[in-house]
A and B are shown apart, each in its own frame.
Chain A
């Protein structure tokens, strides 16, 4: 068995652009769920708006990349307002119901053949990165060290992705240590108490929804940059996986989502490589190659369950908090 290749492939996930995109989406959820206590189950919807908000103006209108990013962010703010204004005055569960439904509505709208000319329907959109790639400072070719050998295109997206993640992490850290962050954390604990202290809870919840959504939208852009935009990426499972990443790392932490995403992708790649090679080597005679492809998700699921059972605070969470959580 080629252990070198298994570990090599797993190591690649340490820094891959997809890992960065999941980390950023999870950071958005940390703002929503971990800090403000908003149950947003539609992070996939925010990511979808990022992907299409970037790709459609780039392909159909020929806009420069920065205008495409702004379009995506504007769409995200509007989406957050539509979701938040009617639901954030209600109990927390209503936001969960509305967001999961709204994200599905978006995905189906982008899948339907009705708008094929714009959205590409189920086939999606590709080659929308041309404008951005013109700025690629890396010379053509494949290079790197150890297992980290990529072509210049991947290096470029990888660097952009991690720079964006770093900026977002610093931004989140800054706001969460400020009095703004204090209010938001108070809302998570008991919004009536915060209201009684003269804070406009509704406004803070909307701000938080928009902010976390914007990070989700940026994550959507980062996620599709190395690939094509296809609506089936943005299934509700994507949101659940991002929740898993968040809980894995620690819900109310800055670095938790990033560590969680790295651990998740490295584990996934490792199990995938291991199981598929093990089947080829005849270690699991009862299993076909296709079944092996599914087994990796089972193993990752078990690994996450173990972490959540034995470390409910997540990898970076504060263990002290657990003493008071029933």
Chain B
């Protein structure tokens, strides 16, 4: 399987993103998103407790960690879909604390969801057009007079068509989004996010449930985002993909950032191995020799 997801061209990695040693919370040369003391508890469970983390601009950053590490919760907090107990975080120098989700999106920070949220009974084209920002026709009173919004709507449609062609969904433009396969919906969701010309795209498990052939094209699309100047932050479990396209990796475990670094080095970090495999993964629990010896002696004594 791994071989089938390898893109044809080798992606160009961005390096020199951090200042000093690659430790958790390391400073970045040009951070786009900075989070400080973000903490979220659900009853007695601390889901996220991030002291300090910076996301580098213009690069692809992967957020990895075992299940339950708090990656998706952290995503929700950053995008205004959930409110933290404490903490401050800023995007492009503007504070995002207490900013509702729709305003976060308007600032240029667009996210996708782990379970795709395509608008099922809207056509693919309508899904795309919904993604465009600052539409005059979205005001109730202006919507009544088509001549006010028709021109802009035409421009939006042209742009949507261009993106759909790029994502090879143009043939489906008049179908209901509900009629598409899971992988196509992932593509649609990503294309829709691009309608607003975001500066930071946050993808929550873009590869989950996608077949290898489609993974290939999704990978290329993510690399394209970087090439066109966007910053990408994504959550992913597929380590091969992370190694392949990420410029920087942030590892979370039990709500905390436990390691950071470039994808090849970070995988060798003991904290990362502990997070995934447990701290005692190389201890032999099967035969405890000391006890066995003691037991043998006891038996001998009795005889």
Q: Is there a chain B Cβ closer than 8 Å to A193's Cβ?
A: yes
Q: A192-B113, A200-B102 are in contact. Are A180 and B120 (CB under 8 A)?
A: no
Tell me the nearest residue of chain A to B195, going by C-beta: A197
Q: Is there a chain B Cβ closer than 8 Å to A117's Cβ?
A: no
Tell me the nearest residue of chain B to A181, going by C-beta: B143
- CB interface residues, B 91-121, toward A, < 8 Å: 100-103, 105-106, 110-113, 117-121
Shortest distance in angstroms between B196's beta carbon and chain A's nearest beta carbon? Answer: 6
How far apart sit A207 and B81, CA to CA, in the bound complex (Å)? Answer: 22
The contact string, 1 if C-beta is below 8 Å from chain A, for chain B 198-219, is 0000000000000000000000
How far apart sit A188 and B122, CA to CA, in the bound complex (Å)? Answer: 10
Q: Is there a chain B Cβ closer than 8 Å to A283's Cβ?
A: no
Q: Is there a chain B Cβ closer than 8 Å to A196's Cβ?
A: yes
Whether B117 lies near A179 (C-beta < 8 A) is no
Shortest distance in angstroms between A287's beta carbon and chain B's nearest beta carbon? Answer: 45
Tell me the nearest residue of chain A to B103, going by C-beta: A198
Tell me the nearest residue of chain B to A208, going by C-beta: B140
The contact string, 1 if C-beta is below 8 Å from chain A, for chain B 120-145, is 11100011011101011111100110
The size of the chain B interface, using a CB distance under 8 A, is 42
Q: A190-B117, A192-B117 are in contact. Are A174 and B144 (CB under 8 A)?
A: yes
**Residues on A with beta carbons closer than 8 Å to the beta carbon of B120:** 189-190, 324
The contact string, 1 if C-beta is below 8 Å from chain A, for chain B 47-89, is 0000000000000000000000000000000010100000000
Whether B140 lies near A207 (C-beta < 8 A) is yes
How far apart sit A182 and B126, CA to CA, in the bound complex (Å)? Answer: 7
How far apart sit A189 and B192, CA to CA, in the bound complex (Å)? Answer: 15
Q: A193-B117, A196-B105, A324-B121 are in contact. Are A178 and B146 (CB under 8 A)?
A: yes
Whether B137 lies near A179 (C-beta < 8 A) is yes
Whether A189 lies near B119 (C-beta < 8 A) is yes
* Interface size of A as a range: 20 to 34
Q: Which of A190, A195, A211 contacts B119 (CB 8 A)?
A: A190
How far apart sit A196 and B104, CA to CA, in the bound complex (Å)? Answer: 8
Whether B143 lies near A199 (C-beta < 8 A) is no
Q: A178-B137, A182-B129 are in contact. Are A195 and B143 (CB under 8 A)?
A: no
State the main secondary structure of chain A at its contact with B: helix
How far apart sit A185 and B131, CA to CA, in the bound complex (Å)? Answer: 13
Tell me the nearest residue of chain A to B127, going by C-beta: A186
Q: Which of A175, A183, A200 contacts B130 (CB 8 A)?
A: A183
How far apart sit A320 and B106, CA to CA, in the bound complex (Å)? Answer: 34
How far apart sit A180 and B148, CA to CA, in the bound complex (Å)? Answer: 13
Q: Which of A178, A189, A197 contacts B105 (CB 8 A)?
A: A197
Whether A182 lies near B130 (C-beta < 8 A) is yes
Shortest distance in angstroms between B27's beta carbon and chain A's nearest beta carbon? Answer: 29
**Residues on A with beta carbons closer than 8 Å to the beta carbon of B146:** 174, 177-178
Q: Which of B106, B129, B130, B178 contacts A194 (CB 8 A)?
A: B130
How far apart sit A324 and B130, CA to CA, in the bound complex (Å)? Answer: 21
Q: A179-B137, A182-B122, A324-B176 are in contact. Are A198 and B105 (CB under 8 A)?
A: yes
Shortest distance in angstroms between B91's beta carbon and chain A's nearest beta carbon? Answer: 14
How far apart sit A181 and B130, CA to CA, in the bound complex (Å)? Answer: 10
Q: Is there a chain A Cβ closer than 8 Å to B179's Cβ?
A: yes
**Residues on B with beta carbons closer than 8 Å to the beta carbon of A193:** 113, 117-119
How far apart sit A127 and B19, CA to CA, in the bound complex (Å)? Answer: 83
Q: Which of A180, A189, A323 contacts B137 (CB 8 A)?
A: A180
Whether A175 lies near B143 (C-beta < 8 A) is yes
Q: Is there a chain B Cβ closer than 8 Å to A201's Cβ?
A: yes
**Residues on B with beta carbons closer than 8 Å to the beta carbon of A178:** 137, 143-144, 146, 149
Q: Which of B81, B102, B130, B176 contacts A186 (CB 8 A)?
A: B130
Q: Is there a chain B Cβ closer than 8 Å to A240's Cβ?
A: no
Whether A180 lies near B143 (C-beta < 8 A) is yes
How far apart sit A201 and B196, CA to CA, in the bound complex (Å)? Answer: 17
Other contacts beyond A197-B105, A197-B110: 7, CB < 8 A: A178-B149, A182-B130, A183-B130, A186-B126, A189-B120, A321-B121, A324-B176
Residues in A lying within 8 Å of B, measured CB to CB: 171, 174-175, 177-183, 185-186, 188-190, 192-201, 207, 211, 320-321, 323-324
Q: Lowest 4 CB-CB distances: which A-B pairs, in order? A: A179-B137, A178-B143, A193-B117, A198-B105
